[in-house]
Amino acid sequence: EAQVTQNPRYLITVTGKKLTVTCSQNMNHEYMSWYRQDPGLGLRQIYYSMNVEVTDKGDVPEGYKVSRKEKRNFPLILESPSPNQTSLYFCASSLTGSSWNTIYFGEGSWLTVV
């Protein structure tokens, strides 16, 4: 089954404790990205990757890092989480970076930073 898988789905962590949210897709998609969803603000893109070893900042990249060492994986790293990073995070992928492609979202990761 074609899917985007992210883990963990739910996490409560403390300020400053590094964490990684993993993301994997099995559709051989070139393009992957991370979004955060906050009430009233919709989906805002954090980082994206056009292909392996190619990553770029989205609209809200501060406080986040990513890497794309393999085509299928695109982990999101919070080096020193802060409470304003409490949010619902979605990993997504599409065939290419063209806006004409459908975006497939993972099931989401609820992150709370206390």
Partner 1 sequence: GQQVMQIPQYQHVQEGEDFTTYCNSSTTLSNIQWYKQRPGGHPVFLIQLVKSGEVKKQKRLTFQFGEAKKNSSLHITATQTTDVGTYFCAGAGEYGNKLVFGAGTILRVKS
Q: Which residues bind partner 1 (CB under 8 A)?
A: 35, 40-45, 48, 59, 90, 97-100, 102-108
State how far the Cα of 114 lies from the Cα of 104, in Å rounded to an integer: 30
CA 23 from chain center: how many Å? Answer: 7
Residue closer to partner 1 by CB (options 35, 64) is 35
Query: Assign residue 7 a region: left if phi > 0, alpha if psi is -120 to 50, beta otherwise?
Result: beta
Burial of 88 (0-12, 13-18, 19+ CB in 10 A): middle
**Minimum distance from residue 111 beta carbon to partner 1 (Å):** 15
**Minimum distance from residue 1 beta carbon to partner 1 (Å):** 14
**Minimum distance from residue 79 beta carbon to partner 1 (Å):** 25
Residue closer to partner 1 by CB (options 38, 79) is 38
Q: CA-CA distances (angstroms) from residue 58 to 24, 33, 34?
A: 19, 9, 9
**Minimum distance from residue 62 beta carbon to partner 1 (Å):** 16
Residue closer to partner 1 by CB (options 63, 108) is 108
